[in-house]
């Protein structure tokens, strides 16, 4: 345990600063408000190692904490004021919770004694946050603050990670706290804390089931990357020469340049080649994957008749959608370590399954469909050409954050990941627009030595473009790419595919995003000519400050996007 603090007196706001510091927090993203004044004053007066990053929107603060947590494996912390601030911070909490990302939202509140007397910004924060978080509380008394902060960190980082919320009434911030209660378990500042290993009997059963198959295929969710199990997974895959596919969240469990990795499956980013690979399997192994509607194309791929082995740290997802032959409740890294150990004990090495050859065939088919579009000189510029140009100018360890609209299916299907770990991510749980710009800020703060690129549609740009001021103020060398097509393209593509091209209320006027970014002080370009695209992207990526490239792009309703419901 970290040593107890020795100050003689604390108020609640000071105690909160010390408790965050004790848990290893180094960055807090947030926006000021009247009821937060004691907390801000404590941050100003105390000697600590926490950097507060002023945001322009509480929703952005939560998304920044999310991006920060994803690339650092530490708890992301955001804060906001009572009333409207508490309501604005909600989207980031639910996204993080459903994505198994631990972020703590601290919202100040009206005084405990004024509740029920109609004070300005009164709100039932406890009731509001309860269904959206893994754990939630409004602190009623200052002497309960240290224990509640410890509980929040413990809940966020153990078991399946998730988000937490603490309401901090202004009188609790001012009331005294016993300094002897200021301590923390440092393990709860990172995740996953205290991961659980598998039952040895089930390890044997899972391995026997896999070895009995003719052609097994693995589908990886985010659990392997979350657990830090990339190296153990590589060993397992190569030992069996087994084919690997991933969800969008599972990208990075194995580099997509690895011979056995065929890439993303599912309705968002999956293509015919990867779908056929999964349909060929007589046994599917889900690892750290909930087997939800997008991954399985509404539970059609794999079919319900396919044999299933399911490995996950959350027992509730096992057998939730598929009849499971073997379920292994375990942290992904520990499960893979155990499987590798059992493989090593076998007298004879098992014969391989031909996964690398099958994955190579799938990748050749994918490339054959992608390459003509990536080389197209059509205007507006095809998204495939943008993805190919970006891949050619980025280092393999760059971090790419994609919004869920236009960028996500193209990045998922065609931006080849060449390094293990979380270098590419999107907000796939709820798919709210406006995520990428803010999450990229959090990622850049968390990994300052890495190049960070944020991709978004122009609809998403309109949600959070105010955060460009934050980027300029902090001198963050992020490159923003806008797919400009003046439409909420995902919805219009759905209207084309399923509603007889009856387009309603999805088109909007084109904005000059480069000019807007320039007004904030961001070096910017507007690109309409596909021949200029690669050189402009290279210049933008290599610039030592924030940059934005506004690309006049083909809208999704006219494109061949890798989204199965539109193709069907």
* Tokens (6 digits) for 223: 């659990």
* Tokens (6 digits) for 74: 């530490």
pLDDT of residue 3: 46
pLDDT of residue 503: 97
Q: For the chain, which residues make up each domain, given as ranges?
A: 10-189, 200-358, 375-567
Q: Within 13 Å and on the Cβ side, how many CA atoms surround 514?
A: 14
**What is the rounded distance in angstroms from the CA atom of residue 263 to the CA atom of residue 245?**
5
State what percent of residues in the chain have pLDDT above 70.
Answer: 99
For residue 5, name the pLDDT band (cuts at 50, 70, 90). very low
Mean of per-residue pLDDT scores for the chain: 96
pLDDT of residue 7: 57
Helices (H) and strands (E) in the chain, counts: 23, 20
Which of 3.90.79.10, 3.40.50.1220, 3.40.50.11060, 1.10.10.10 is the CATH number of 200-358?
A: 3.40.50.1220
pLDDT of residue 209: 98
Residue 138 gets the label, from left (phi > 0), alpha (psi -120 to 50) or beta, of beta
Mean pLDDT for the stretch of residues 154-171: 97
1 pLDDT above the threshold of 80:
no
Where helices occur in 261-406 by DSSP H, the ranges are 272-280, 332-345, 355-374, 383-393
* Tokens (6 digits) for 169: 């009434």
pLDDT digits (tens, 9 = 90+) for 71-125: 999 999 999 999 999 999 999 999 999 999 999 999 999 998 888 888 888 999 9
Dihedral angle at the C-alpha atoms of 83, 84, 86, 92, nearest 10 degrees?
Answer: 170
E strand or H helix at 263, and its extent?
Answer: strand 261-264
Backbone angles phi, psi at 371, to 5 degrees: -60, -45
2 pLDDT above the threshold of 70:
no
Give Cβ neighbours of residue 39 (< 8 Å, ≥ 6 apart).
Answer: 13, 16, 17, 79, 106, 108, 168, 173
CATH 3.40.30.10 fits 375-567, yes or no: no
Superfamily of domain 10-189: Thiamin diphosphate (ThDP)-binding fold, Pyr/PP domains (3.40.50.970)
**What is the rounded distance in angstroms from the CA atom of residue 452 to the CA atom of residue 454?**
7
Structural contact between residues 273 and 362, judged by C-beta atoms closer than 8 angstroms: yes
CA 109 from centre of chain:
29
- 200-358 and 375-567 in the same fold: yes
pLDDT digits (tens, 9 = 90+) for 169-224: 999 999 999 999 999 999 999 999 999 999 999 999 999 999 999 999 999 999 99
Structural contact between residues 31 and 55, judged by C-beta atoms closer than 8 angstroms: yes
């Amino acid at each position: 345990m970290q040593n107890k603090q020795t100050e003689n007196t604390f108020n609640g706001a000071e105690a909160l600063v010390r408790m965050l510091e004790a848990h290893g927090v180094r960055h807090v993203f947030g926006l000021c408000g009247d009821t937060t004044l004691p907390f801000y004053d404590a941050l100003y007066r105390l000697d600590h190692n926490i950097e507060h990053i002023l945001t322009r929107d509480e929703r952005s603060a939560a998304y920044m904490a999310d991006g920060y947590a994803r690339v650092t494996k530490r708890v992301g912390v955001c804060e906001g004021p009572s009333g409207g601030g508490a309501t604005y911070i909600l989207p980031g909490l639910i996204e993080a919770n459903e994505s198994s990302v631990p972020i703590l939202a601290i919202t100040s509140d009206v005084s405990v004694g004024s509740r029920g007397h109609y004070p300005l910004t009164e709100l039932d924060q406890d009731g509001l946050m309860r269904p959206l978080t893994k754990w939630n509380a409004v602190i009623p008394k200052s002497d309960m603050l240290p224990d509640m902060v410890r509980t929040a960190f413990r809940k966020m980082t153990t078991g399946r990670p998730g988000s937490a919320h603490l309401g901090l009434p202004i009188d609790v911030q001012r009331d005294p706290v016993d300094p002897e209660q200021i301590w923390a378990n440092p393990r709860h500042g990172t995740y996953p804390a205290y991961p659980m290993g598998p039952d040895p009997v089930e390890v044997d059963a899972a391995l026997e089931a896999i070895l009995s198959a003719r052609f097994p295929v693995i589908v990886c969710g985010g659990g392997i990357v979350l657990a830090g199990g990339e190296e153990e997974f590589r060993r397992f895959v190569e030992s069996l020469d087994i084919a690997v596919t991933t969800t969008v969240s599972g990208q990075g469990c194995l580099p997509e340049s690895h011979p056995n990795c065929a890439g993303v499956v599912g309705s968002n980013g999956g293509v015919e080649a990867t779908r056929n690979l999964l349909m060929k399997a007589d046994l599917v192994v889900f690892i750290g994957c909930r087997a939800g509607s997008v991954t399985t194309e509404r539970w059609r791929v794999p079919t319900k008749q396919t044999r299933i082995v399911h490995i996950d740290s959350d027992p509730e997802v096992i057998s939730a959608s598929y009849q499971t032959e073997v379920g292994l409740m375990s942290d992904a890294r520990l499960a893979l370590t155990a499987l590798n150990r059992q493989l090593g004990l076998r007298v004879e090495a098992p014969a391989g399954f031909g996964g690398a050859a099958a994955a190579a065939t799938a990748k050749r088919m994918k490339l054959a469909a992608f390459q003509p579009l990536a080389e197209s000189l059509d205007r507006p510029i095809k998204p495939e050409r943008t993805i190919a140009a970006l891949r050619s100018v980025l280092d393999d360890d760059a971090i790419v954050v994609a919004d869920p609209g236009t960028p996500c299916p193209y990045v998922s299907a065609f931006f080849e990941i060449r390094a293990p770990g979380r270098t590419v991510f999107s907000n796939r749980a709820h798919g709210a627009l406006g995520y990428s710009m803010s999450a990229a800020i959090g990622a850049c703060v968390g990994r300052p030595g890495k190049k960070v690129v944020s991709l978004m549609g122009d609809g998403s740009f309109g949600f959070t473009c105010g955060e460009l001021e934050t980027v300029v103020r902090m001198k963050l060398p992020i490159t923003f790419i806008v797919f400009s097509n003046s439409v909420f393209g995902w919805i219009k593509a759905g209207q084309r595919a399923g509603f007889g091209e009856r387009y309603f209320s999805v088109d909007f006027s084109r904005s000059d995003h480069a000019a807007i970014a320039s007004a904030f002080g961001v070096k910017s370009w507007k690109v309409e000519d596909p021949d200029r695209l690669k050189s402009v992207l290279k210049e933008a990526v290599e610039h030592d400050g924030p940059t934005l490239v506004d690309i006049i792009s083909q809208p999704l309703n006219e494109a061949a996007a890798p989204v199965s419901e539109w193709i069907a």
